[in-house]
Amino acid sequence: MAVRTSWTWAFFLLLATMAAFSLPAAAATHLVFADLQSLQAEHVDDTLRTGFHFQPPKHWINDPNGVMYYKGVYHLFYQYNPKAAVWGNIVWAHAVSTDLVDWVMLEPAISPSAPFDVNGCWSGSATVLPDGRPVIMYTGINEQDQQVQNVAYPKDLSDPYLREWVKPDYNPVIAPDAGVNASAFRDPTTAWQGPDGVWRLVIGTKDNHRGLAALYRSRDFKRWAPARRALHSGDTGMWECPDFYPVTSPGVDSGRKHVFKVSLDLTRYEYYTFGDYDYATDTYVPDPSLADGNEGLRYDYGNFYASKTFLDAGKQRRVLWGWANESDSTADDVRKGWAGVQAIPRKIWLAPDGKQLMQWPVAEIESLRGKHVNITDKLVRGGSYFEVTGLTTPAQADVEASFQVMDLGKAEPFDPAWRAVDAETVCAARGADAKGGVGPFGLWVLASDELKERTAVFFRVFKRDDGAKHAILMCNDPSRSSYADNLYKPTFAGFVDVDIAATGKIPLRTLIDHSMVESFGGHGKTAILSRVYPTKAVGDKARLFVFNNGESDVKVNNLNAYDMRSAKIR
């Protein structure tokens, strides 16, 4: 017994040591824990597993892959380790759904099996060809550990779930040419066809510090040739998981814009631009008003990475998926037996003013709403808070609220020094407990009885000195979210482009799902996803509050909170 105990301790000590280097803050990609990557989880700790966000029953997941809608069925593939709760042994796991809510888990669609992918089946995309056949293009890690691009086709098109996929022998279809960095050449996009009938796609790569979206062309989806110029590039390090697609703005005759998004391996953030794409010359020019680089607009200002969109032809909408990594330690992941969650699928479109993209959880998830609590016109005096009671499961809930600022004159001046820094720095300096003029006000979610564990999702309003509108900061402050040690607890933040002087109100929607706090400010203008690990505010012990730590009173015009049922993932 003593021997076993000391072995157990030694093992956890080893994990703890590794964990010190493995919090997401360290941000290293594709860290391989040789000793852990085939450590089957024998026990799964359900305490903080999500109820209505997508997760497989156990083990590690990362990027959404090849998402598509095909003949009435949504397909979600994703990076998965079938053997452990850490990254490694990567296959394309596969799940299907008819409503983006309930999922049927299938056998992995693509696993290492051939010289061109024997060391891993990494991210990629699906394209539906004009003859109706879907094709997957993914990155294989070949025998020489080079990154090459391979195709796979469904074995049996009459199977509505497209369970089996065949990799033709002529793979790889795109190999890194001389001069291309073969260990940084991955994540092909969905292909698009120009009026000339030629297929195009881009692949993420880099040239020293310059991230590149390498463009390739093909007439038959089999023989691909590199274009002379990349579709786009930027001085931001390796570009992973590029995405490129057209968007329109409903009801606005602004023409068609193309969105270009990349996931930045160095910072683990994503950014996007949109602009004009010319098929004839294959040039993409972002709108000049948009920042193109680290300061660029983000889909989500929180823990959201390797995202991918697909066109939902059934509902004529574009849907965005993204991966939320854990922010506890690797040792915790091994102990839990699982790691990684997919964010709620979000409808995405161009804002009517053409200034940014908007997002909103797909309407289907509202089918999970249960018991409902409504609060109308409730004043929250500066320095006070109240509990939203009546929900059965505040740890698994959907909350929509609209806050009215009663005295905008109390807004503090926006320190000009902050202009040079990002929202995150401002929010980290002025967290949820730092009293302000207008705000911080918002929600404390996943709060414990004695209120010592709580995650704050809130707004602060500042007066600008440059004559522009007020600056509205939306923050997620997890600094008090848990009693547990060894957690990465970054403050996340973004500005919300709402003219508060004109509207008087700021809307917020927050999806609370045990260890996920996924928020949308300004009707989907700013999104922030955060992972938290409460120890007391779990299950039916979690509570929900509205707080106001500013001088100005705030009125909750309307708050609708719903219990959320669990999705069926079987």
Interaction between residue 187 and ligand DQQ (CB under 6 A): yes
Tokens linked to 325: 């990594």
Closer to ligand DQQ by Cβ: residue 123 or 448 = 123
Asked if 526 is part of the footprint of ligand DQQ (rule: CB under 6 A), the reply reads no
Residue of 35, 45, 63, 292 marked active site: 63
Pick from 78, 103, 122, 444 the residue near ligand DQQ by CB under 6 A. 122
Q: Mask of contacts with ligand DQQ, 62-101, x by CB under 6 A?
A: xx---------------x----------x-----------
Nearer to ligand DQQ, 81 or 476 (CB): 81
Residues in contact with ligand DQQ, counted by CB under 6 A, come to a total of 13
Answer for which of 37, 50, 81, 123 binds ligand DQQ (CB under 6 A) is 123
Cβ-based burial of 524 (10 A; exposed 0-12, middle 13-18, buried ≥19): buried
User: What DSSP character marks residue 43?
Assistant: S
| Residue 326 touches ligand DQQ, criterion: CB under 6 A | no
Nearest to 247 by CA among 162, 351, 164: 351
The contact pattern for ligand DQQ, residues 246-285, with x = CB under 6 A and - = no contact, is ----------------------------------------
Going by C-beta distance under 8 Å and a sequence separation of 6 or more, which residues neighbour residue 488? 23, 24, 25, 327, 328
SS3 assignment, position 121: strand
x/- track of binding to ligand DQQ for residues 131-170 (CB under 6 A): --------x-------------------------------
CB contact at 8 A, 49 and 62: no
Q: How far is the CB of 555 from ligand DQQ (least distance, A)?
A: 42
In three-state secondary structure terms, 429 is: helix
Give the pairing of strands 338-339 and 59-70. parallel
**Calpha distance 495→298 (Å, rounded):** 11
Site for ligand DQQ in 279-318 (CB under 6 A): 305-306
316: tokens are 């004529």
| Secondary structure class of 351 (helix, strand, coil) | coil
Can residue 186 be called a binding residue for ligand DQQ (CB under 6 A)?
Answer: yes
Is 287 among the catalytic positions? no
User: Which sign does the torsion angle of CA 222, 166, 110, 54 carry?
Assistant: positive
Token pair of 320 as six digits? 């965005």
Residue nearest ligand DQQ by beta-carbon distance:
122
- The yes or no reply on residue 241 touching ligand DQQ (CB under 6 A) is yes
Q: How far is the CB of 60 from ligand DQQ (least distance, A)?
A: 9
Residue 556 in the binding site for ligand DQQ (CB under 6 A)? no
The Cα-based distances of 537 to 54, 329, 413, 489, 560 in angstroms read 22, 19, 36, 16, 21
Query: From the CB of 181, what's the least distance to ligand DQQ, in Å?
Result: 13
Sheet holding 121-128, edge to edge: 121-128, 134-141, 147-154, 165-166
- The set of catalytic residues is 63
> What are the residues binding ligand DQQ (CB under 6 A)?
62-63, 79, 90, 122-123, 139, 186-187, 240-241, 305-306
